[in-house]
Amino acid sequence: MPEGILCNKQVVDTKEKLNALLADKSGKQYYDEMTRLDVDTEALWATIEKTCKSRLRTWLEICAHCGMCADSCFIYLANKRDPKQVPSYKIQSTLGEIVKRKGKVDNEFMRYVMDTAWAKCTCCNRCATYCPFGIDMGVMFGYVRGLCFSHGFVPWELKIGSGMHRIYKAQMDITTEDWVDTCEWMVEEYEEDWPGLEIPVDKENADIIYTVNAREPKHYPEDLAEAAILFHIAGENWTVPSQGWEETSLAMFAGDWGACKLQVESVYAAMDRLKPKRMVVTECGHAYRATVLEGPYWAGIKSGKTPIESFHYVEWVAEALRTGKLKIDPAKKIKEPVTYQDSCNYIRNGGLGDYAREIMSYIAEDFREMKPCREHNFCCGGGGGLNGIGRYRKERNIGLTVKRDQILATGAKLVVTPCHNCWDAIRDLEEVYKIGIRWSFLKPLLLGMVEVPEHLLPREE
Amino acid sequence: MYELVTGPLAWLSFGIFFFGLFYRLVWYIRGLNWQMDRVSYTQNMVYGIKGALRSILFWLVPFGTRSWRYYPGFTILVFIFHICLLATPVFLMGHNVLLLERWGFSLPTLPEGIADFMTTCVIVSAVFIICRRIALPEVRILTKPYDLFVLAIAVAPFITGFFAFHQVGSYDFWIIAHVLCGEIMLVAIPFTKLSHFLLFFLSRAQMGMDYGIKRGGMKNKGMAW
């Protein structure tokens, strides 16, 4: 079968196609069709010749096969050091083989490549920091995902996710109206306790444009309210855009580079339209990576920078605490042992480790680092889209054991997780392994301990 | 025969070595693409150079990176192997005598005993490297005959040189074999994995620029390698 009805080489860009995929429960038909999907070997090789240039070719060629990447990979460690989980083996047996065979691979091989690219690598990029040549298997598997996507070999959920971005400019089916309604609803819910609370939509020339993860308006609208309250307490002049508010990119996880471009351009258009001074991104790791670090390249911005300067939420919180815009009530600081989950996307790959420590120094009395931590921390276990793929749930749960043991070793029962993926992975980790921990974004923790200026408190009638 | 291998063949192999490496250099740099690699190399050059230098220097220092510290035994092996492999031929008395005779200049030289010891180090570390390849499952699965072939090319000049120096059997045989092996190695460098002689630096520089420009280098003191 050259192309399936659901599993094919086409992108999902209409609601009809999207609904057809969504109706296929757990992707049963989708994966069945995938077993018969033709591989266009000529097109595959043509793409490789055009895009697999000196950096990737050199990595494939000079890898010394020394195995120093082995222990850097949490999936290798979690799978009892299975040699087939050594990063170098994983890339050599997939991309390395495709290049060696000049693209002449079959359906079964491409399914092996897909299973490796999504279930055996979260693109955490840790191996790159352990390889003497700096060979980055995360970057290479990102590239492999792109090849897989364009040939129809992509996990069902991510085909849907990238379609959502193309249709809704968000990873979920949230329209502009839904989003603006949610902002208004949250103000109504909380304005009694916080007189004067606003979520200003499309305000021009604000100091901050705040952008979010679609899960927040869809599933956790209180997160949006908490952000609004903290900005309110800090006295920030801020806004959210009615369009271009979504920072995440399941398209990046899927390897759908066209959708990645469309998504980030919607955010950059909001910057151009509203002319804010800077952007603050919610507590999400891959969202920051996609829109702030990688996005400018997808959009063709030569400076590699977003149209206005952009900050992760931890940078804003650290600044607010440092400058006294937010003040912590010393009596309300976290007293119990607490640890911090360094997100690969903004700590290792964004360099924001110091900001996280600065925040913890203000809010925690007994902060305990995981080992290893900061740039060398292990992935939560659910990064790179792995959390959301049903086909690989078993593999994901095995991978979580490394994080479980890291957390247990700190002795902390509370894990600060300013990243949606980490937050989910650690929630699932507790559900599966029941180690008696709690986990939290920064916003609710901060709200529980900030000093509220007198004039912002509700007036007693 | 000796005249042939130390004359025209030497010129040929050095020529292939230098032109080959020059080609690899140009090919590597021309193949970089700011948009595809997602690193704005030229637009943020200062951050890029800083990142590249950090990335190379930390990795050139034994135990200078977390990874080198994580594998202390292998790190010692790697550094002994590479330092001896690179320094011995350059500062060997015999080579420098040749250099003085042919070109009228020479470099500082190592005492013969030390050079002999360093040659032994190259051979012994190569044996350990092979043992490691066989013993560790995570390395064994990666190892291909090609890896051993490349190692053999790199070590052959040392084995043959060792035999020649100690005059085991026929000196004339070993010295010609030694020169030929050295020339094979020079020619192999641009065309095999041994190209990491140059590409180590380019690959590290590229990764350093990635970290220096995009992955946090503009917001922190530099990647903690």
Residues of chain A with pLDDT under 70: 1, 460-461
- Give the Cα separation of A347 and A360 in Å (integer): 15
CATH assignment at residue B143: 1.20.950
Which pLDDT score, from 0 to 100, does residue A129 have?
97
Is A84 within 8 Å of chain B by CB?
yes
Any chain A CB within 8 A of the CB of B73?
Answer: no
**pLDDT, position A59:** 97
B224: which chain A residues are within 8 Å (Cβ-Cβ)? 374-376
Cβ of B219 within 8 Å of Cβ of A375? The answer is: no
Q: How far are the Cα atoms of A50, A207, A210 from residue A306, in angstroms, in the given order? A: 27, 16, 14
Q: What stretch of H or E contains B210?
A: none
Measured in angstroms, the CA of B185 and the nearest CA of chain A are apart by 16
3-class secondary-structure state, position B8: helix
Q: So what's the pLDDT on residue A251? A: 98
A278-281 and A309-312 as β-strands: parallel, antiparallel, unpaired? parallel
Residue B219, in any domain of the structure:
no
Query: Does some domain include residue B220?
Result: no
- Put simply, whether A72 touches B (Cβ < 8 Å) is yes
Give the DSSP H/E element, type plus range, for residue B92.
none
Q: What is the pLDDT of residue A200?
A: 98
- pLDDT, tens digit (0-9, with 9 covering 90-100), for A145-198: 999 999 999 999 999 999 999 999 999 999 999 999 999 999 999 999 999 999
Q: Tell me the pLDDT tens digit for each residue of B86-141.
A: 999 999 999 999 999 999 999 999 999 999 999 999 999 999 999 999 999 999 99
- CA of A21 to nearest chain B CA: how many angstroms apart? 30
- Taking only residues 351 to 410 of chain A, the set having a beta carbon closer than 8 angstroms to any beta carbon of chain B reads 351-354, 372, 374-376
Domain that holds residue B47: 2-214
User: Does residue B95 belong to any structural domain of this protein?
Assistant: yes
Query: Could you tell me the CA-to-CA distances from A124 to A334, A348, B67 in Å, in that order?
Result: 29, 8, 16
Question: Is A68 in contact with B67 (Cβ distance < 8 A)?
Answer: yes
CA distance B225 to B223: 6
pLDDT digits (tens, 9 = 90+) for B144-180: 999 999 999 999 999 999 999 999 999 999 999 999 9
Nearest to A54 among B27, B78, B210 (CB): B27
- A378 and A389 Cβ atoms separated by less than 8 Å: no
Backbone φ and ψ for A153, nearest 5 degrees, come out as -100, 80
Model confidence, pTM: 0.96
**If 0-12 CB within 10 Å is exposed, 13-18 middle and 19+ buried, where does residue A13 land?**
middle
Instruction: Determine, yes or no, domain membership for B224.
Output: no
- Tell whether B99 lies on the interface with A, counting CB pairs under 8 A: no
Q: Is B180 a domain residue? A: yes
Q: Which helix (H) or strand (E) holds B38?
A: none
- Give residue A459's pLDDT: 77
Structural domains counted in chain B:
1
Q: Are A384 and A123 in contact (CB under 8 A)?
A: yes
Question: Using CB atoms, which residue from A89, A296, A352 is nearest to B219?
Answer: A352
Per-residue confidence (pLDDT) for residue A356, from 0 to 100: 98
CA–CA min distance A182, chain B (Å): 34
To the nearest whole Å, the CA of B144 is away from the closest chain A CA by 9
Choose the closest CB to B216 out of A128, A351, A376: A351
In chain A the domains, ranked by start, together with CATH numbers, are 39-154 (1.10.1060), 169-321 (no CATH), 328-447 (3.40.50)
The arrangement of strands across the sheet holding A438-440 comes to A364-367, A334-340, A414-416, A438-440
Q: Are A336 and A304 a contacting pair, CB within 8 Å?
A: no
Question: Within an 8 Å CB–CB cutoff, is residue A53 touching chain B?
Answer: yes
Kindly report the backbone phi and psi dihedral angles of residue B72, in degrees, each rounded to the nearest multiple of 5, phi listed first.
Answer: -60, -40
Cα angle, residue B199 at apex, residues B194 and B200 outer, rounded to 5°: 90
